[in-house]
């Protein structure tokens, strides 16, 4: 063990109760694990764990919660274990039993998202529908088939994109998402996007667009513009389910997709 690491751990002993994990320059207190890990080197320090002393720092009552503190024991923030994941699969496995809102009680299947985990394009709808709820995959019903056709006609394949929703569970009767459901579920989407790191997002439909842009506006006012969501470029078009009900919107959707592709190609050229 290096002298530096010794010093860090000695400091920690004076301030931190129980067990923890170092990551970068922060120390995470965990309930679930019985070791201290120095993450970069994956060094297990079982013996140190038992020596850490009580300075009255409270831990989350939930096992998956982690309290982030600095080396002086000041609580910086609380995080959940999925916020430390590094892959979509890992994240999915940690949140798939989520019961943070009422939709957890009525869903058949949790619908995380599907597609290339390193996609340049992420398409975001509002919430799973009946078919998605049954199959656990977004955009699999008639709307999904139409989305596939739109992608192919625009020159994209479904493998090139990642598709997900703001809510991971179906609202009963396909009602619109409630504000508290969005508030509880949107952090999952944000983290998904952090892992995927797309160049551009396409919001599908008014609810998705309004939710991501945090403003209420007619869909037509949001279309045809480049917006930003958490630092990622974003455009807006109709939801494929709306196109099934209103075929007259297919032409404007086609125009949106042409513009979307143009912007995407420009972004691709810029980064490559």
- The footprint of ligand SF4 (CB under 6 A) covers 98-101, 103-104, 167-169, 181, 184-185
Closer to ligand SF4 at the Cβ: 69 or 164? 164
Are 149 and 135 in contact by the 8 Å Cβ rule? The answer is no
Q: Shortest gap between Cβ of 196 and ligand SF4 (angstroms)?
A: 18
Measured from the CB of residue 99, what is the shortest distance to ligand SF4 in angstroms? 6
Number of H helices, E strands in the chain: 11, 12
Can you tell me the distance from the alpha carbon of 117 to that of 36, in angstroms, rounded to the nearest whole number? Answer: 30
Nearest Cα to Cα of residue 16 among 36, 46, 1, 44: 36
Residue nearer to ligand SF4 on the CB measure, 99 or 226:
99
Is the CB of 94 or the CB of 233 nearer to ligand SF4? 94
- In degrees, rounded to 5, the angle at the alpha carbon of residue 118 between the alpha carbons of residues 116 and 119 is 65
| Distance (Å, whole) CA 27 – CA 77 | 11
CB 80 within 8 A of CB 73: no
CB 4, min distance to ligand SF4, A: 41
CB of 124 to ligand SF4, least distance (A): 14
Q: Residue 15 or residue 139: which is nearer to ligand SF4 going by CB?
A: 139
Cβ proximity to ligand SF4, 133 vs 256, nearer residue: 133
Burial environment of residue 184 by CB neighbours within 10 A (0 to 12, 13 to 18, 19 or more)? middle
Considering the complex, state which of residue 103 and residue 235 has its C-beta at the smaller distance from ligand SF4: 103
In the complex, what is the shortest distance from the CB of residue 96 to ligand SF4, in angstroms, rounded to a whole number? 8
Residue 143 Cβ, how far from ligand SF4 at the closest point, in Å? 19
Closest-CA residue to 223 (of 253, 201, 265, 244): 253
Task: Return the structure tokens found at 11.
Answer: 């400091």
């Amino acid at each position: 063990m290096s002298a530096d690491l010794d010093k860090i751990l000695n400091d920690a002993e004076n301030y931190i109760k129980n067990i923890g994990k170092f990551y970068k320059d922060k120390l995470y207190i965990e309930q679930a694990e019985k070791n201290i890990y120095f993450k970069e080197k994956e060094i297990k320090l079982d013996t140190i764990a038992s020596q850490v002393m009580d300075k009255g720092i409270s831990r989350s009552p939930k096992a998956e919660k982690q309290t982030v503190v600095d080396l002086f024991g000041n609580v910086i923030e609380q995080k959940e274990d999925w916020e430390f994941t590094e892959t979509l699969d890992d994240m999915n496995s940690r949140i798939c039993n989520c019961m943070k809102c009422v939709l957890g009680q009525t869903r058949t299947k949790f619908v995380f998202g599907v597609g290339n985990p390193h996609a340049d394009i992420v398409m975001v709808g509002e919430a799973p529908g009946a078919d998605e709820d049954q199959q656990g995959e977004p955009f699999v019903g008639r709307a999904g088939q139409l989305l596939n056709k739109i992608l192919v006609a625009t020159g994209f394949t479904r493998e090139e994109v990642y598709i997900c929703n703001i809510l991971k569970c179906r609202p009963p009767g396909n009602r619109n998402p409630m504000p508290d459901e969005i508030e509880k579920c949107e952090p999952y989407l944000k983290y998904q996007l952090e892992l995927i790191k797309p160049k551009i997002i396409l919001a599908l439909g008014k609810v998705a667009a309004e939710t991501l842009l945090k403003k209420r506006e007619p869909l037509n006012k949001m279309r045809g513009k480049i917006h930003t969501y958490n630092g990622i470029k974003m455009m807006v078009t109709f939801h494929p389910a709306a196109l099934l009900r209103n075929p007259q919107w297919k032409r404007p959707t086609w125009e949106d997709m042409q513009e979307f592709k143009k912007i995407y190609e420009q972004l691709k050229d810029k980064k490559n």
